[in-house]
Amino acid sequence: MNDNDNRLVRITTIDNPYDPFEDFNNWFLFDIEKGYYTCDKLGRLSNFSELMTEKQEKEETERTIDRLIELDPLNIYKKVEKIVKND
């Protein structure tokens, strides 16, 4: 990864076969069908503000993901990363 690359993070569950980056709609439907409601949980844990920069939003997203993983009693969540090359 170089300085121009963009590191993105998402959360998923160990049993979700869909990629939250490439196939969010199916990822989301699977999550809801299983009763995980991951997006709702992230929303309750996050502290976003309209005044945040894009960098601060990315940092808050990762902090929230890390916190949900930390609080997960079933140990089903995991963080996934994607590097987007910026030329």
Each residue of 26-83: pLDDT tens digit? 999 999 999 999 999 999 999 999 999 999 999 999 999 999 999 999 999 999 999 9
Model confidence, pTM: 0.88
pLDDT at 24 over 80: yes
What DSSP element (H or E) covers 85? none
C-alpha 18/C-alpha 32 separation (Å) is 13
Please compute, for residue 85, the number of CA atoms within 13 A of its CA located in the half-sphere on the CB side. Answer: 1
Each residue of 6-22: pLDDT tens digit? 999 999 999 999 999 99
